[in-house]
């Protein structure tokens, strides 16, 4: 079983739409959770960290459900510039490794 699983998509949504991505993780000892954004042929860049139950930053909201072992990312009022691949990342201590989902592709359509 993979450590982190995401729906690969693709998600194609119109501008202004709300879109949600889910991610599940297998190790209940995981402590740190992140959402990254990756543009084509570029390195991943941090979008949000989630250390407690959730985090909100403008149009982006991340939620963590430890009991069900899933993390979600909600994007409101989608912009064309939100088109990218979104990676769910989990870190487990001890061991201190980051486990990456394979990413969810989002295309926002005019």
Partner 1 sequence: DVKVTQSSRYLVKRTGEKVFLECVQDMDHENMFWYRQDPGLGLRLIYFSYDVKMKEKGDIPEGYSVSREKKERFSLILESASTNQTSMYLCASSSVLTGTLLVTEAFFGQGTRLTVV
Residues that bind partner 1 (CB under 8 A): 31-32, 34, 36, 41-46, 49, 51, 87, 89, 91, 93, 96-98, 100-103
Output b/e per residue, 83-101; b: 16+ Cβ within 10 A: bbbbbbbbebeeeeeebbb
Q: Between 51 and 77, name the residue whose CB sits nearer to partner 1.
A: 51
Cβ 31 to partner 1 shortest distance, Å: 6
Q: How far is the CB of 65 from partner 1 (least distance, A)?
A: 18
φ/ψ region of 36 (left if φ > 0, alpha if ψ in -120 to 50, else beta) reads: beta
Q: Which residue, 16 or 51, is less far from partner 1 as judged by CB? A: 51
């Amino acid at each position: 079983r993979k450590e982190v699983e995401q729906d690969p998509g693709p998600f194609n949504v119109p501008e202004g739409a709300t879109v949600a991505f889910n991610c599940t993780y297998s190790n209940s000892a995981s402590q740190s959770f992140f959402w990254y954004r990756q543009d084509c042929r570029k390195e991943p860049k941090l979008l949000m960290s989630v250390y407690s139950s959730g985090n909100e930053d403008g149009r982006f909201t991340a939620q963590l459900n430890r009991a069900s072992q899933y993390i979600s990312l909600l994007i409101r009022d989608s912009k064309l510039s939100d088109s990218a691949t979104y990676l769910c990342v989990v870190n487990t201590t001890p061991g201190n490794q980051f486990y990456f989902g394979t990413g969810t592709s989002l295309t926002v359509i005019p």
